[in-house]
Amino acid sequence: MIRTEEIYDAATDDAVFDRLASTLADAVGARSGVLHWGRAPQHVAEISYSGYFSDAQMAVYDQQFQDDDIWGVALDRAEAINRAWNIEAFVPAQTYEGSRIYNEWIKGMGDDTFRCLGGMIQKDGTTGHIGLHRGRTQKPFSEGEVRAVQDSIDHIGRMFAIRSKLDRANHYGRSLHATLDMVGHAVFTLRPNGVLIDCNHLADALLRRADALSLRQRQLKAREPREDEALQTALRGAAARQGGQASAIFVHREQGLPYVLSIASVRVGMERQIVVIVTDPADRDLSLTSRIRALYGLTRAEAEVAEALCAGRGLEELSQERGVALNTVRTQIKNIYVKLDCSRQSELVARIGALPRLSGFEEE
């Protein structure tokens, strides 16, 4: 029996969520289970494993076999949404037996996982998957076991939706905290209409100097009319873009080299914000790593890993170079994907590659 209170406990308790796949598997007599949700079918925000497969085995699945998961593909159809299924209804045993994932991953590690009770769940903007498994020599899932999971589908969907809302709130808090605590740059966060949301202490000090930038009706303005026109054009361009492409402009001050403004649109939860980083070429760190941290709220380690991935480094190479476990690098990469609103290394490379190189100032 699947207890509803355990499903809802997982909405706010990370430890209960981590155990939920195992709890559901035990309830229907499955020997393994996986449960995950994201904000789109291709996005995975959180995963609960039952523990039958090791982290290393699941890492091989993520890297080499995820796109060949014919069970998951079978559930990605309109009539399958928000229903529990014996997957053999979509993927006959002989089809699965001839699949790459079965022959190269399952059999390759000496396993015989052959049966699946699963479903795709969509609720309030979240997409989740559930998969409960048995071996080839074990009995098929019964209609009663499928109904037991079906009776819990709505509850699991609501639990996913609650975790998604909490995740967005936490992500917003992390982004704002990173902005306020960022050192070495003046950082402004703006709404798409240009209204100031917040700024860090260096940005506040810059406004007090009033030598290049000011706030008027909570809008960021440049002192010189021609440069203000360029600034407002850049802000409107950032608000209109859907990706992470950034632009850079120079704003002159009364004395000294001009400030360099890097301007980008970033996603915070389900919303978009404009981030403006103001750097002083005379005494501020203009490195790409530093600006990645400021734009996306990455830790220094995450920013270094992101830049290394863009340079073509592999997971094992990064693990050895940084002297950390492979799982640590994987965790950092997952955090990077969440903060940069992407799901693949190619998207990360494109996003970081779109950041402007501040020619004449930035270190090579």
Residue 363 pLDDT class (50, 70, 90 cuts): very low
31: confidence class by pLDDT, cuts 50, 70, 90: very high
Contacts of 128 (CB under 8 A, 6+ apart): 35, 36, 37, 38, 120, 121, 122, 156, 157, 160
Supply the pTM of this predicted model.
0.52
Task: Tell me which of 196 and 327 has the higher pLDDT.
Answer: 196
Which two three-digit tokens encode residue 359?
A: 């020619």
pLDDT category of residue 110 using cuts at 50, 70 and 90 = very high
> Pick the residue with more confidence: 122 or 78?
122
